[in-house]
Amino acid sequence: MKERAIHYTRAMREARRAGLKTQTRRVCRDQTPRAYKLVEDCESYPNGAPYTGWVKDIERLPFYMPTVCPYGAPGDILYVHEPIEFLNIGNGGTRGRLRYLDDGDTAMADIPRCVKVPKLGPWKGRTLPPEWARDRDRVTDVRVERVQEISDDDILAEGTEQWAWQDEEYRGQSCIWRDSAEALRNLRRKWFVKLWDSINAKRGFGWEVNPWVWVVTFEGVKP
């Protein structure tokens, strides 16, 4: 079992804490394969040894190329990065009180040796050390698909509605179409597209590009 950090927007962190987000889609680094496939006991490159897992089907190669999800495999742990600030530091720089900026909760935390003693105020590091993370999830499933293949159930599992409900336009349209299941499904899909593009379009992986994505399903781990 391995432990990795994962980053979300604040809205998605809130959806996860509310139990409304149990899935995330992340763009595959390699978009060149004509397909990604799940294989069992397949002859793999470079030594021909049996391989079970996800592979890249690349047109110019006569073999499959094994690939590993950077967000882990079933059983691995994802700890959630979030912004914090330090209120005080003591014990010779080995311990301090921090505040989680999403909701203002505070906690005492050890400062790992591998981390430079932080200054008071917002912590500037890119990724939270695992010792300071308060939220963890266990990966239950990993697969690859095109982002436009997302199902209606997965749109809900992505926490889309929690994010969309903050917008007055979505709330109004939800009330108008509350008696039409099909209209609500279409509305949620429309807002998932908005959510996806707000994060990924500027990186060149918008909805219309239909990139390959890792689909990671998870469940919360109690402290």
pLDDT tens per residue, range 57-85? 877 666 678 888 999 999 999 999 999 99
Q: What pLDDT was estimated at residue 115?
A: 84
- Residues 6 or more apart whose CB falls under 8 angstroms from that of 47 comprise none
Summary mean pLDDT of the chain:
87
Q: What pLDDT was estimated at residue 171?
A: 61
Q: Is the pTM of this model over 0.85?
A: yes
Residue type for position 36: Y
Would you place residue 48 in the very low, low, confident or very high pLDDT band (cuts 50, 70, 90)? low
Average pLDDT over residues 22-47: 85
Would you place residue 150 in the very low, low, confident or very high pLDDT band (cuts 50, 70, 90)? very high
Average pLDDT over residues 209-220: 97
From 143, 166, 179, 163, select the one nearest 38 (Cα to Cα): 143
Beta strands 50-57 and 65-66, pairing class:
antiparallel
State pLDDT tens for residues 154-169. 999 999 877 666 666 6
From 20, 21, 40, 85, select the one nearest 216 (Cα to Cα): 21
From 157, 152, 128, select the one nearest 141 (Cα to Cα): 157
Average pLDDT over residues 184-193: 82
Residue type for position 208: E
Residue type for position 53: G
Average pLDDT over residues 133-143: 96
Sign of the torsion angle spanned by Cα atoms 174, 179, 180, 181: positive
State pLDDT tens for residues 95-137. 999 999 999 999 999 998 888 888 899 998 889 999 999 999 9
Q: What pLDDT was estimated at residue 177?
A: 52
Q: What pLDDT was estimated at residue 119?
A: 86
Does residue 45 register a pLDDT over 90?
no
Beta strands 106-110 and 95-100, pairing class:
antiparallel
Beta strands 3-6 and 77-80, pairing class:
parallel
Average pLDDT over residues 17-44: 89
Q: How far apart (Å, rounded) are the C-alpha atoms in residues 82 and 9?
A: 9
Percentage of residues in the chain with pLDDT exceeding 90?
57
Backbone angles phi, psi at 161, to 5 degrees: -65, -35
What separation in angstroms does the CA of 184 have from each of 110, 122, 149, 187, 201?
47, 40, 18, 5, 24
Q: How far apart (Å, rounded) are the C-alpha atoms in residues 101 and 109?
A: 15
Does residue 175 register a pLDDT over 70?
no
Give bridge partners of residue 214 from the DSSP assignment: 26, 144
Q: What pLDDT was estimated at residue 179?
A: 57
